[in-house]
Amino acid sequence: MASRTSPPSSDAGTRERSILIVEDEDPIRELVATALRFTGFSVTASASGREALGVARNGTFDLLLLDVNLPDIDGFTICRKLRADGNQVPVIYLTARDDPTDLRAGFTGGGDDYITKPFSLEELVLRIEAVLRRSGTGGVERTRLVCDDLALDTESYRVWRGEDEIMLSPTEFRLLRYLLLNRDRVVSKNQILDHVWDYEFVGDPSAVETYISYLRRKIGDRDAQLIRTVRGFGYAIQSGQPAQPTQATQGGEAG
């Protein structure tokens, strides 16, 4: 479904923003760190609360991702200690807890947002960008992603093709945003599943093909000239010359 309206005309630049990730589970920490670096953030990672507290006190970060259930010092305590030091760096909690009492403790201790495990990496990036916007610590960032006459606004969650506004589901929006962030780069099915769904996704990988098909239909790309299938590697959104697969994306397949 599309409606006639014009997309915003401004397109801001970006600067590299610094994030400290504190997570004791190695697979989650490494996956999140890799994904955020891939998105354009500078990332420092720590596996323990005590180490992270020292790193945060001695470094300068735009945002902290704090796991709540750390084995030594929990994330709530780290945040309270930093606030007591006068450090107002924005904090997002990574938590398996959803009890309102626990969440209230986190926010009253100075937290800015939380995300419940398991989470999609794309949702995490959106939350990070929202907190950075609210805090004003992230500098000027890109809110409008463009490829030819296709435009996506990350702040208003709106999409246009030319002057026609396109209505997308949340999953379709996250998928299109991920493709646009990686414009002219081939991304594999596994990368898409990790970023658009969540890292514990155990469903049918063919969901990627299904949603690519939905997206092509909605943006008027039935001949796959905008969202291209790169056989044996994955998908790429592009204009101009065909995108080339890179070493980081060669493990995936496309249907």
Q: For the packed helices 170-181 and 189-196, what is the interaxial angle rounded to 10 degrees?
A: 120
Q: What is the mean pLDDT of the chain?
A: 80
Cβ proximity of 206 and 255 under 8 Å = yes
Q: What is the pLDDT of residue 139?
A: 45
* Tokens 């990574």 -> residue: 94
Least confident range from 124-128, 204-208, 213-217: namely 204-208
**SS3 string of 165-225?**
EECCCHHHHHHHHHHHHCCCCCECHHHHHHHHCCCCCCCCCHHHHHHHHHHHHHCCCCCCC
Q: Which residue has the higher pLDDT, 57 or 29?
A: 29
pLDDT of residue 38: 84
Of all residues in the chain, what percent carry a pLDDT higher than 90?
A: 30
For helices 75-84 and 49-58, the axis angle rounded to 10 degrees is 30
Has residue 109 got a pLDDT over 80? no
Element (H, E) at 79: helix 75-84
Give the integer Cα–Cα distance in Å for 30 and 199.
Answer: 11
- In sequence order, what are the beta bridge partners of 150? 147, 161
Most confident of 135-139, 144-148, 241-245: 144-148
- How many Å apart are CA 108 and CA 186, to the nearest integer? 43
Q: What is the pLDDT of residue 88?
A: 87
pLDDT of residue 170: 87
Q: Is 135:90 a contact under the CB 8 Å cutoff? A: yes
Fold for the domain defined by 144-237: Arc Repressor Mutant, subunit A (1.10.10)
Q: Where in the chain is the domain with CATH 1.10.10.10?
A: 144-237
Top-confidence residue, 148 or 105: 148
Pick the CATH number of 18-135 from 3.40.50.2300, 3.30.420.40, 2.130.10.10, 3.90.226.10: 3.40.50.2300
Q: How far apart are CA 159 and CA 140, in angstroms?
A: 21
Angle at 112 between CA 111 and CA 118, to 5 degrees: 90
Which residues of the chain are in CATH 3.40.50.2300 domains? 18-135
Tell me the C-alpha to C-alpha distance, in Å, between residue 24 and each of 6, 75, 105: 46, 11, 21
pTM, rounded to two decimals = 0.55
